[in-house]
Structure 1
Amino acid sequence: MKRIAFLFLTGLLTFQGFSQEEVQDKPKLVVGIVVDQMRYDYLTRFWDRFGENGFKKLVNEGFNFKNNHFNYVPTYTGPGHASVYTGTSPMNHGIIGNGWYNKFIHESVYCVGDASVNPVGTRDDAGQMSPHRLKTTTFADENRLHTQMRGKTIGVALKDRGSILPAGHTANAAYWFHGGDEGKWISSSFYMEDLPQWVKDFNDSDKVEAYLKTWNTLYDINTYHESGSDLNEFEGGYRGKETATFPYDLTKLGDTDRKYEILKSSAYGNDITTDFALAAIDAEDLGRDDITDVLTLSYSSTDYIGHNFGVNSKEVQDAYLRLDQNIAEVLKQLDEKVGKGNYTVFLTADHGGVDVPAYLKSVNIPAGYFESDEFTKALKEFTLKEFEVENLIESVYNSQVFFNYEVMEQTGINFSELQSKVAHYILQLDQIDKVFTRDQLSSGSFVTGAGSAIQNGFNQKRSGDVVYVLDPATIVYSKTGSTHGSGLMYDTHAPLIFYGNGVKHGSTTKRTEIIDIAPTVSAILGISFPNGTTGTPLHMLLEKGESEISE
C-alpha cells in the first residue's frame, strides 16, 4: 500500500508495474454515501446515542477527516453532489446552484431538468431529468470507461439531483423517488426505456405504503438532551397539525392528492431509500465479481427535515438516530452480500446548515433575514436613477446580479462602470458583508477566504456579473426552519469518513476539501481522475507516517 500511495502522489494513474496481488486488491464495490444537510457536529453531538454498527463503526474502524470543508459558494445540494463526485468545484463542473438564471435563453433552469428526455415509471414531468448540464466526468464515469463499461453504476436518492449528478453521464441507471399520489421510484429515458422488473416489483409492493404511519421518536423523547425543546417558535411543522411536536400521524397529515410527498420530509424517507438501495445491490449483483461497481447513495430526508424544523430540533435528532440504524443495515448487508474487505465506503454531506436565525437572535447572537425582493426592487431603482436607463438589471438569482447585455449595448453603458457602481451601492446596504464583481472574479486570483470560495463557485459562462455575500447567519428564508448556501463554517464543515478496502484506521484534523474525495477514490481504484479534477488524493488514509493517525 505504501507503493500505491507513492504512485498516487507522483500522479501515475495506472497499475503498470503493480503485482498481481495489488491489482486484485481493489474493492469490488464502492458505495458513496452523501447525507443531505449533515453538519460535522452531528457526529459529535449525537455520538453517545448512536449504536455500535452505524456511524460509530465507520469512525472506529475507518478514517475520519475532522476538518473537511466545501471550498466554494454556494453550498447547495446540486453543487454539493457534483463536487463530491467530480473532484472539482462549480467553477469547472458548471453546477452553480440547484437552479440558476440562464442569461442566454433569459430564463431560470434546473440543474438536472431536461425536456428532451421522457419520464420512465411515471407520466409526471418529475421524470424529465438527466445530467446534461454537468460539464465534467465523475469518478463513476471514469470507472465505467476504465472497465470498458463492464463496471456498473447505480444512483439512488429521493432527490433527482442527488441521484443523477453523482452517477454521472454513463450510469447504468439513476433512480429517484416521485412522491405525489404515486409513491414510486422513477427514472428517465436518458438511462432506459422501461424500468427493470425488480424496480417494478418494488413499486408494486407495499414497502412505501407501509411507511404512511405515525412518526414518533425512536427513544423516549425526554432523553433527547442533545436538541432543543420539542415545542418552540422556531419550527415549521406540517400543515394540518397545530404544533410542530411529536408524534406525527403521516396518514392524516399528508395531502389527499399528494399523500406520499410527506414521506420525504419524515425520517421514513431514509428508510425507503435504504430499502431501495439494498434491493438494487441484490438485483443488480453489485460487487459480485472482480470488476468494480459503484453505488451512489444519497439520503435526502435529513435536508427536508432540517429545512422544516431547524438544526437544533428533536426531529433532526430523531432522524439521525434512525439514519444511524440505516447505515448499520447497509454495512451489514454489504458484509453479507459483497463480503468484508471487498468494498469501500465513504460518507460525507452535500452541505451543512445554519441554526434558525430567530433562535440565534433570542440568545443574543447576531443573525437575521434578508428580503431579496425588496433588495431587487431597490437595486433596479438605483440603476435607473444612476444611469437613466430602464431594465439594466435582468435578474437577481442565488445572490448574483445579472446585467441586461442587450440594453447595455443599445445605450452604450460601460460594463466595468456598471459593475463598479452596482457593487459599491450593494456594499453600502445593511446585512451585506462583501461584494465581488465579474472583473475581479475573472481576472484576479483569491487564495483564501470568501474571495476564494466565491471564485471557486463562479463559472464564467453561467454565473452573474456581481456577487454579494450576506452577513453571518443572515438568510433569505422563512422565520422558521434552517437553510444553507453560505461559505461560513456552519455550511462548509461536513463529515468525511472512509471505511473498508484500502483504508487504514485513523483520523486527522488537517484541513481537507470536498473536492479531494473523487481523486482519492480514483487513486484507490487505479483509474483516471475525473477530467475536471482539482482536488488532491488523501494519501494519509492509505499510508502511515502522518501525525494524528492511530491504529
Structure 2
Amino acid sequence: MHLRAASRALGLVVAGSLLFACHAAPAETPAPAAAPPPPPRLIVAISVDQYAADLFAQYREHYTGGIARLLSGAVFPSAFQSHAATETCPGHSTLLTGVHPSRTGIIANNWFDPAIARGDKRIYCSEDERDPASTSREPVVSAVHLKVPTLGEYMKQADPRSRSVAVSAKDRAVMMMGGHSIDAAYWALKGQFVTLKGRTPSPAAMSANAAMAAIAARGAPAYAPPAWCAAHDRPVPAGKAGTPGSGRFALAPNDPDAFRVSPRMDAVTEDLAVRMVDENHLGRGPAPDILSVSFSATDYIGHAYGNQGMEMCIQMAELDRTIGKLFAALDARGIDYLAVLSADHGGSDLPERLDQQANPFAGRVDSALEPSPLGKAISADLGLAVDGPLLLGDGAAGDVYLSAKIPADQRPRVIEALVARLRAHPQVAAVFTRADLAALPVPTENPQDWTLAERARASFDPERTGDVLFLLKRAILAGAAPGPGYVAGHGSPWDYDRRVPLLFWRKGMSQFEQPAPVETVDIAPTLAAILGLKLPAGTFDGRCLDLDGGAGSTCR
C-alpha cells in the first residue's frame, strides 16, 4: 500500500511537472527568415537569337561551359515569346520591357505606313525615319519606335548612377534590349562595331574592331566538330541555295559575310562585351548596372544552313564556350552578377530536311501569297487599278497594308476580296482584319493554350498593324524560294518559333527546374523585384518568377 501510494504520488509530481512545463515554457518560435541577399551589382541579360526551346533540349546534355553553369540555376525550359510575330525585333522588345509587342509597339522587323512620303513606305523597327539620312535598308538607328521603357531605364530612374550597356551583331537587338537611354551601344556593320549617330566609338570599341579586323584579314581554319556532331553530317540539297549541312566554317581572308555567318561573330561580340565591362566599370559602381548581350550567330547560321546540320551542332558547342568565356571574365573581376539567358524567338529547319525526317507537311510558301502578285490578283478580281502597288507587305505572311491611293469607298471591297482569297488558299491557317484584332481582349491565360487569334492579338498595335493579317499553316516557311544565306527561318505563330529557354543564375543560388510554361515578359518583373525596384501595378504584362528555390521568395 505504501509503495502504491508512493508511486501514485510520484506520478502526480511528474504529471504536474509536465503540466507546468507545458504552461511555463515559452512557445518555440520559428527561426527568423534569412535576410534576402543584396541586389547583384550587375545584371547580365543574354539573348541567343533563334535559340528555340527544341534546340536547347536537343543539346543541353552536351553543354559543359557557360550554358552548363546556367543549368545549375533556375531553369525554365518552356518559356514563350507568346505573340504571333516571332521575329528578331518584336522578340527582343519583350525581354527587358516585360510587355508584349502590342504594348512595345514593335509588331515586326518592318512595317509599312502607306501615308509616309518615303517611296517604299517601309519602316524598319529600329530606325528614326524622321532623319532625312535614314532608309529602311540603311537606317539611322534609334529606339524611337519602342513605346515603353526597358529595365535599364527603370534602373536609371531609380538611381541615375546605374549604367546600361548593350552589344550585339544586330542593331535591333541593341535598341530593343537597351532602350532609349543606353550609356554604350554597339552593333556590327560592314565588319566593324559601330554606335549611335553623333557618338564616337570608344577606345575599347576601337580595340575590339582592330582585333576583329585582324582575324578577318588573315582568315581562319575550319572548326573541328565535337564527336557528338557526327550524326548531323548529312547535307541536304535546297534548290538554288546549294547543299546546306556540310560546312565547318573555314574562313578565307577578307570574307566578311562568312565571318558573320559563323561562331566567330559571337566570339567577337563576347570580346566587346568584356571590354565594355572594363571601360564602363560595370558591376563596380555605386548602383547596379546592366549589360545586355545578344548573340546573333545562331540566327545567321539557322537561316543559312537550317538548325539540324553540322553547322548548327558546331555552333551549339561554340556558343556554350563563348558564354563560358564571358562568365569567366566576370568571375576573374570579382563581380557579383546575376545572369539571365533567353531568346527572341525559335526557328524551324529547312523544309527539304523536314520532309526527309518524318514531316511531309513541310514546304515553302506559294509565291502567289506575296504582296505584289496578291495585289495584282485582287485588282483583276475587282477591276480596280491604282497608281503603284495595290498592297504593301514584308513577305508572304503577316501584315498586309492597302495602298493609300485606293479610294475610301473601295477599301471595304478590297479587304473583303483579300480576306476571301487568303482564306481559300490551302497554305493559310488564319486571316484577321484589323477590326477583328482590335475587338479581341488581351489574352491572359497560359500562353501555350492561346488560340491563333490571341497570339495575333499580342502583336497588335492599332497604329502599326496592317489592314489584314494572315498566318501560314504549320511547317510552311514564309520564304518562297531558298537562296544562299536563307534556306530556313522563323516568324510563324507555331510553338517551334514561340518556345524558348529561360535560365537564371547567380552564385549561391539553389538549382531547380520548373517545366510549367512561363513567358519572356516575366524576365523584367523578376529582375525588377530582385533589384528592389518599386514600379506601379500594370507596369508589366508578365509576373515575377520566384527564383529562391526554397521557402523564401525573391518576389517580395
TM-score (norm 1): 0.83
Establish whether residue 56 from structure 1 lines up as the match of residue 68 from structure 2: yes
Q: Give 3-state SS (helix, strand or coil) of 1:433's partner.
A: strand
Q: What is the correspondence of 1:245-260 to structure 2 with a 5 Å cutoff? A: 245-252=246-253, 254=254, 259-260=255-256
Return the offset for 1:329: 1.1
Superposed counterparts of 1:12-51, under 5 Å: 25-51=38-64
Q: 1:317–1:310: structure 2 CA closer, same or farther, 3 Å change rule?
A: same
1:170 and 2:181 correspond: yes
Identity of aligned residues (%): 25
Q: Tell me: CA distance 1:126–1:528, structure 2 relative to 1, closer, same or farther (3 Å).
A: farther
Partners of 1:438 and 1:272 in 2: CA distance? 42
Aligned to 2:153: 141
Residue of structure 2 equivalent to 1:371: 366
Letter in 1 for 2:390: I
1:402 shift after superposition: 1.1
Structure 1 match to 2:233: 229
Aligned counterpart for 2:547 among listed residues 516, 541, 551 = 541
Q: Which has the higher mean CA deviation after the structures are superposed, 466-475 or 419-428?
A: 419-428
How many Å apart are 1:518 and its aligned residue? 1.2
Partner of 2:269: 273
For the residue of structure 2 that corresponds to 1:306, the secondary structure is helix
Q: How does 1:196-211 map to 2 (within 5 A)?
A: 196-203=202-209, 205-210=210-215
Matches within 5 A, 1:429-468: 429-445=425-441, 447=443, 448-468=450-470
Instruction: Give the Å deviation of 1:530.
Output: 9.3
Matches of 1:219 and 1:248, distance apart in 2? 10
Alignment of 1:59-78 (within 5 A): 59-60=71-72, 62-78=73-89
Q: Say which SS state the counterpart of residue 71 (structure 2) adopts.
A: helix
Equivalence for 2:512:
506
Larger displacement relative to structure 2 (160-169 or 42-51)? 42-51
Larger Rg: 1 or 2?
Answer: 2
Q: Give the C-alpha shift of residue 364 in structure 1.
A: 4.5
Q: RMSD in angstroms over aligned alpha carbons? A: 2.9
Secondary structure in 1 aligned to 2:339? strand
What letter matches 2:98 in structure 1? G
Matches of 1:288 and 1:36, distance apart in 2: 29
Q: Amino acid of the residue matched to residue 321 of structure 2?
A: Q
Q: SS where residue 152 of structure 2 aligns? A: helix
Deviating more after overlay: 523-532 vs 94-103: 523-532
Separation in 2 of the partners of 1:232 and 1:443? Answer: 45
> 1-side partners of 2:130 and 2:374: how far apart?
36
Distance 1:536-1:231 versus aligned 2 partners, 3 A rule: closer
> Is 1:114 aligned to residue 128 of structure 2?
yes
Asked if the contact 2:431–2:469 (Cα under 8 Å) also holds between the matched residues in 1, the reply is: yes
- Contact 1:523–1:537 at 8 Å: present in 2 too? no
Is 1:102 aligned to 2:113, yes or no?
yes
Q: Which of 130, 147, 159 lines up with 2:142 in the alignment?
A: 130
Q: Give distance in 2, aligned partners of 1:103 and 1:300.
A: 31
| Cα distance in 1 for residues equivalent to 2:208 and 2:536 | 33
Aligned AA (1:455): R
CA distance in 1, matches of 2:81, 2:545: 19
- After TM superposition, the structure 1 stretch with the greater mean CA deviation from structure 2, 516-525 or 490-499, is 516-525
Q: Does 1:333 align with 2:319?
A: no
Q: Any idea what SS the aligned residue of 2:470 has?
A: strand
Report the AA paired with residue 153 of structure 2. D
Q: Distance in 2 between matches of 1:406 and 1:363?
A: 47
Counterpart-to-counterpart distance in 1, 2:87 and 2:404: 28
Q: Number of matched residues?
A: 498
Partner of 2:399: 400
Pick one of 87, 93, 98 that aligns with 1:87.
98
Name the CA shift for 1:496/1:68 in 2 (closer, same or farther; >3 Å). Answer: same
Compared CA separation, residues 422 and 215, structure 1 to 2 (3 A): same
- Is 1:73–1:486's contact at 8 Å kept on the other side of the alignment? yes
Q: Is the 8 Å Cα contact of residues 64 and 498 (structure 1) preserved in structure 2?
A: yes
8 A Cα contact 1:64 1:507, kept in partner = yes
Shift of 1:266: 0.9
Residue 444 of structure 1 and its aligned partner are, at CA, apart by 2.4
Q: Deviations over 1:199-258 (max 9, x none)?
A: 22333x3344225533523445x5414x532433149879xxx87633443225x5xxxx
Gaps of 5+ in 1: 1-18, 120-124, 547-551
SS at match of 1:390: coil
Per-residue CA distance 1:86-106 (angstroms, 9 max, x = gap): 111111111111111123316
* Bigger Cα displacement from structure 2, 365-374 vs 329-338: 365-374
Q: Work out whether residues 116 and 128 of structure 1, in 8 Å CA contact, stay in contact via their aligned partners in 2.
A: no
Q: Provide the C-alpha distance between the structure 2 equivalents of 1:530 and 1:245, rounded to a whole number of angstroms.
A: 53
* Cα distance in 2 between the residues matched to 1:408 and 1:66: 50
Structure-2-length-normalised TM-score = 0.82
SS of the residue 2:45 aligns to: strand
Give the letter aligned to residue 267 of structure 1.
P
8 Å contact kept, 1:69–1:514: yes
Assess, with a 3 A threshold, how the Cα gap between structure 1 residues 508 and 373 changes in structure 2: closer, same or farther: same
Between the aligned partners of 1:345 and 1:287, the Cα distance in structure 2 is: 12
Shift of 1:390: 2.2
CA deviation map 1:94-148 (0-9, x unaligned): 11111111233160011112366799xxxxx96721111111111111111111x
